[in-house]
Structure 1
Amino acid sequence: MKIWLSGAIMEAEAARIDPADRGFLLGDGLFETMLARNGHISFFEEHLMRLVSGADMIGIEMPFGPVHVEEACKALLEENKLDSAPRASLRLTLTRGPGPRGLALPANASPTVMISCAAAPNPPERLNAIIATPRRNPWSPAARLKALPYLDNVLAKEEARMKGADEALMLETSGNLACASAANIFLWEGERLITPSERCGILPGITRAALLELAPDMGIETSEDEIAPARIAHASGAFLTNCLMGLVPLARIDGRVIPAHPMTARLAAAYELLLDAADEND
């Protein structure tokens, strides 16, 4: 497998990242995961805008422009013979680069940029979830960034696996529902679609944003809210979203059966049509 590292495509085994890189040592960086379908990168501009915006917030200068990054992603897909794959994932990682020991920012940072790719499996038909122990901190600046430190999410996902579930739902520190380990969550309350607000320490997902824009055009009322876990018991449906899997219904949460809401399938189909239209216009 080949990767793209700071301007050059190379075999992954030959790549070298400085042992003093702050992304490796301190988690000082950001990343984006993107879906490519037959070589077209879904929501590329939105992903790159989120990365650059986050980089501005934490003071990392992205050393490559949007056109350069998009061309690099497409060249990498081609080099790995994934440019015609029905589904492939791309990961774009940006770190502050190497620095001296300690937490102080380097005076002259030299950011590291890496892109990797892999074939992406088809999304599961449904998922079972638990409410995990680790919590999201809505007061942390990193909560709203696609930041490298993902230990809480990793531990939540492992807790789910150990309890025989596919996915972990995470609460925030006040006890309200936040997100899954690597996805946003939506609940149906009757015909109304609700999702945790950005006040709940969530990463505002790109698929989440697309659905909040798409749903009203389908006559679906939406709301971003603080959602106590007790409301799950009364939900008439639930699903998770991220860019790789789109919409996947939740079948159970903590063993409780979650109904299959008929509008979930319609919304998923509308989302797929949105991706298809973007592919055709590429």
Structure 2
Amino acid sequence: MTPENRVIVWFDGRLRGHAEPLVLATDHGLTVGDGVFEACELLGGRPFALTRHLERLERSAAGLGLPLPDRDLVRRAVTEVAQAWGDTLGRVRIVWTAGPGPLGSDAAWGPGTLLVAASAVGAPRAVSVSVVPFTRNERSAIAGLKTISYAENVRALAWAHERGGDEAIFGNTRGELCEGTGTNVFLEVDGALVTPPLESGCLAGVTRAVVIEWAREAGVEVREETLPLDAIHRAEHVALTSSTRGVVPVVAVDGRELRPGPVTEQVSEIYTRRHLETPYP
């Protein structure tokens, strides 16, 4: 296995071979996407902001009506995977599903399934984005939950790639700027950073929250504000945040070239420095 394809897997109490069959064919995570997940950056063998990720995992599970996973067990699994992974840059993915159930939408029988895995991730870089013709439903039953039902994101990202974008950007049903497939969006407006509020239907990104806190502590104005979708087409400077990207500038929106903004560069430097110093914010 090449370094970029290397995977470390934990399941049912211990590390497993990456090709070992593990999940039952009746697992609701497989049959109907009834599950939640988190992805943390692995930096120097440590998962960044793990407690925040576990808190969101539990919020998402509760939002789907799933029993909460055993947090101590999840921590132990993440620790074992991180130690096996080593010091190279990577990501750890925590998956919690409803467990075995009927081959339909009725509730699963359980118990829940926990799977933790680590894989390689590339270094953060500037990105181009494409605004997709699909919408986020801010009134959906799963709005704001990090579920494993990612087919919508897969399709949107493929649409963006076909048009030269590295990431896809969604509006919501009200025509407001919402989020990317795996990112939160920030615009620079009059020297401040502005990001859509959670009421837009966007995910409450862990990196989004940390960036807002650390930027404000450094004296940078950050506002959560409803924005029309076309604001991203008019903005001079745009940035994305995510657990594996950190804070990165957008260098093109639907082919319109942009320069990294001064506030983006300032906040990116703050985040890069502090997340090395403070792995558990």
Shorter-chain TM-score tier: over 0.9
Q: Following the alignment from structure 1 to structure 2, what is the Cα–Cα distance between the partners of residues 88 and 275?
A: 15
Q: Which residue of structure 2 aligns with residue 50 of structure 1? A: 56
Contact 1:30 1:93 in 2 (8 A): yes
Query: Do 1:135 and 1:152's aligned partners in 2 also have CA atoms closer than 8 Å?
Result: no
Question: Partner of 1:25 in structure 2?
Answer: 31
SS of match in other structure, 1:193: strand
Structure 1 SS opposite 2:278: helix
Task: Say whether residues 1:69 and 2:74 are aligned partners.
Answer: yes
Match of 1:99 among 80, 98, 101: 101
TM-aligned CA deviation for residue 59 of structure 1: 2.2
Cα 1:191–1:275, aligned 2, differ >3 Å: closer, same or farther? same
Q: CA deviation at 1:29?
A: 0.5
Instruction: Please state whether the residue corresponding to 1:215 is helix, strand or coil.
Output: helix
Letter in 1 for 2:82: L
* 2:17 equivalent in structure 1: 11
Q: TM-score, normalised by structure 1?
A: 0.92
Corresponding residue SS for 1:134: strand
Residue 4 of structure 2 corresponds to none
Contact 1:239 1:248 in 2 (8 A): yes
Q: Where does the alignment leave 5 or more consecutive residues of structure 1 unmatched?
A: none
> What's the offset of the Cα at 1:89?
0.4
- In structure 2, the partner of 1:202 is 202
Deviation at 1:233, TM superposition (A): 4.0
Q: Which runs of 5+ in 2 are unaligned?
A: 1-6
Work out whether residues 240 and 248 of structure 1, in 8 Å CA contact, stay in contact via their aligned partners in 2. Answer: yes
2:63 and 2:234 map into 1 onto residues whose CA distance is: 39
Q: How many residues align?
A: 275
Q: Separation in 1 of the partners of 2:200 and 2:130? A: 18
Shift of 1:127: 1.0
Superposed displacement of residue 68, structure 1: 2.7
Using the TM superposition, name which of 223-232 and 164-173 deviates more. 223-232
Contact 1:97 1:111 in 2 (8 A): yes
Counterpart of 1:211 in structure 2 is: 211
- Give the secondary structure class of the aligned counterpart of 1:133: strand
**Other structure's SS at 2:182 match:** coil
Q: By how many angstroms is 1:240 displaced?
A: 0.6
Q: How does 1:1-282 map to 2 (within 5 A)?
A: 1-65=7-71, 67-79=72-84, 82-85=85-88, 87-106=89-108, 108-124=109-125, 126-279=126-279
The answer to whether the 8 A contact 1:74-1:83 is kept is no
Question: How many angstroms does 1:204 deviate by?
Answer: 0.9
For 2:35, give the aligned amino acid: G
Deviation at 1:222, TM superposition (A): 1.7
How far does residue 15 in structure 1 lie from its aligned partner after superposition? 3.0
Q: Residue by residue, what CA displacement relative to the aligned partner does 1:214-249 show, whole Å, maximum 9, x if unpaired?
A: 222222222112211332344231111101010110
CA contact (8 A) 2:98 2:112 kept: yes
> Would you say the 8 A contact 2:63–2:145 is kept in 1?
no
Distance 1:7 1:76 in 2: 11
Against the structure 1 CA distance between its residues 233 and 52, is the aligned structure 2 distance closer, same or farther, given a 3 Å change threshold? closer
Kept in 1: contact 2:177–2:231 (CA 8 A): no
Q: 1:141-177 deviations in whole A, cap 9, x for unaligned?
A: 3120001111211111001111122111111111111
CA contact (8 A) 2:8 2:119 kept: no
Q: Distance in 2 between matches of 1:217 and 1:275?
A: 14
Deviation at 1:199, TM superposition (A): 1.2
Q: Distance in 2 between matches of 1:63 and 1:202?
A: 24
Equivalent pair of 1:5/1:15 in contact (CA under 8 Å): no
Code of the aligned partner of 1:44: L
- Inter-partner Cα distance in structure 1 for 2:278 and 2:133: 39
* Root-mean-square deviation (Å): 1.7
